[in-house]
Amino acid sequence: LVCLLLLPQSYVKDSSGAVNEKPGTLGYIGESEGRHYAIREVATGEILFPLDRKLKLSTRDILQEVSATKDTGMRLMGRSDPSDMFAGMKAVGRRTDAGDMFAGMKPAGKKKNDTQSSLAAEGSKEDPLEKTIRALIDAEKCELSRDFVPPLNVKTFVQRGADILRYRQYCEEIGHLTDHLRSLVSHLHPNLEKHYTKLERKDLLQEKVNALQHFLSNESLALFPDFQQRKAVLKRLGYINDNDTVFFKGRVACEINTCEALIATEMIFEGVLDDLKPEEIVAALSALIFQEKSESELDSELPETLVDCCEKMKTIATNLGQVQKECGLPVDPNEFRETNLKFGMVHVVYEWALGLTFRNICQLTDVQEGSIVRCITRLDELCREARNCSRVI
């Protein structure tokens, strides 16, 4: 709400030029009737209660639209547009031209006596701004003299509706709070403004302290909710405890950096690789390294034990995705499995581990030679990390 506010008597206007100097606009601070006033935007939550006192006036006499142009102001004062067919014509009123046969005659209308005319003239000369400031000063004097102006009865504003009982209950609570506020002795304290200034400064400093504490806390981190959800996943899988202490399973997972650590760790602890031969182990681990799409998947030429191992890996990845989803992470179990497990290089790595030449293994897949070399190089790093996991165990 844009309101005209009566400032305290002790207010001193800033002479630095930082205040808006355009009368009638937002942010303007002026003076009338010996008191300063301001035009400011006030939130509805800052209004304690409205008073049952009305003052009939036009806001156009006090406030001005920021978008008002020079032409608009000229049209309000008189017609000056050349394209206006009535431009330059005089307003209807008393004729004074000597050659006019109607000169000296009054315009037709309702007759008024001299007393009514004088009262209307005096009323029209009264400044709306001064009238408003005087009304605010009178309301202030009533508050200070404990001759309180009754608050506006807003209970009658709503006559029907589903929430009318709750609305009237709130109105009664506001009335009780208003009476309690006016009954306080501090309301009439001579140094009220001085003490209020100190209290206001204390509240502002406390708000700054709270803002800084929030900025330094974990709650201000944008990824803190995601961090809490991932901790919940680790707790549920047994990697850490409630005190965030890393368990034995978590120390093993710390050794895996080349691929998805959760899948590799679960494979180790569930014994998926225990009954496999070395060439089958590296072939199975290649599914954690290879990231490209390939038309070649598991085929019938692979050993049955290796195929079973790959199926178990799919089950482990799906279960891990489900756990993350239940802990609040935006993870789809099937998508998590398909993203972290690619079996396009299982047959190639298996034949390479058996000693087949690089020329021959390139004929087993449609993957480019550079991707094969890169996959095997990273697979060597993963095998070293798996060796470190076995040492920790």
Residue 99 has pLDDT above 70, yes or no: no
List pLDDT tens digits, range 200-220: 899 999 999 999 988 888 777
* Residues 6+ away with beta carbon under 8 Å from 151: 49, 50, 51, 52, 174, 175, 178
Strand partners, 246: 240
Instruction: Evaluate whether 260 touches 290 at the Cβ level (below 8 Å).
Output: no
Instruction: Evaluate whether 53 touches 139 at the Cβ level (below 8 Å).
Output: yes
Supply the DSSP string of 132-174, one letter for each residue: HHHHHHHHHHHHHTT-PPPBP-GGGG--SSTTHHHHHHHHHHH
- Lowest-confidence segment of 9-13, 86-90, 179-183 by average pLDDT: 86-90
Average pLDDT of the residues in 348-361 = 90
Closest CA to 135 of 37, 24, 236: 37
* CB environment 24-36: b (16+ within 10 A), e (fewer): beeebbbebeebb
List pLDDT tens digits, range 246-281: 998 999 999 999 999 999 999 999 999 988 999 999
The whole-number pLDDT of residue 169 equals 86
The whole-number pLDDT of residue 64 equals 67
The pair of structure tokens assigned to 112 is 């008024």
Residue 308 has pLDDT above 60, yes or no: yes
List pLDDT tens digits, range 380-389: 999 999 999 9
Residue 69 has pLDDT above 50, yes or no: no
Instruction: Evaluate whether 341 touches 288 at the Cβ level (below 8 Å).
Output: yes
Q: Count how many residues are written for the chain.
A: 393
Per the model's pLDDT, the better-predicted residue between 306 and 11 turns out to be 306
Instruction: Evaluate whether 34 touches 23 at the Cβ level (below 8 Å).
Output: no
Residue 298 has pLDDT above 80, yes or no: no
Task: Find the DSSP H helices in 151-298.
Answer: 164-183, 192-216, 224-237, 248-253, 261-269, 278-289
The whole-number pLDDT of residue 374 equals 92
* Prediction pTM value: 0.49
Distance of alpha carbon 303 from alpha carbon 129, whole angstroms? 96
List pLDDT tens digits, range 18-35: 566 777 788 888 888 888
Band of pLDDT at residue 233, cut at 50, 70 and 90: very high
- CB neighbours of residue 6 within 10 Å: 19
* C-alpha distances out from residue 189 to 114, 178, 185, Å: 50, 18, 7
- Average pLDDT of the chain is 80
List pLDDT tens digits, range 320-345: 999 999 999 999 999 999 999 998 88
**CB burial class (10 A; 0-12, 13-18, 19+) of residue 372?**
buried
The whole-number pLDDT of residue 18 equals 59
The pair of structure tokens assigned to 374 is 């890169």
Q: What are the counts of helices (DSSP H) followed by strands (DSSP E) for the chain?
A: 14, 3
Residue 74 has pLDDT above 50, yes or no: no
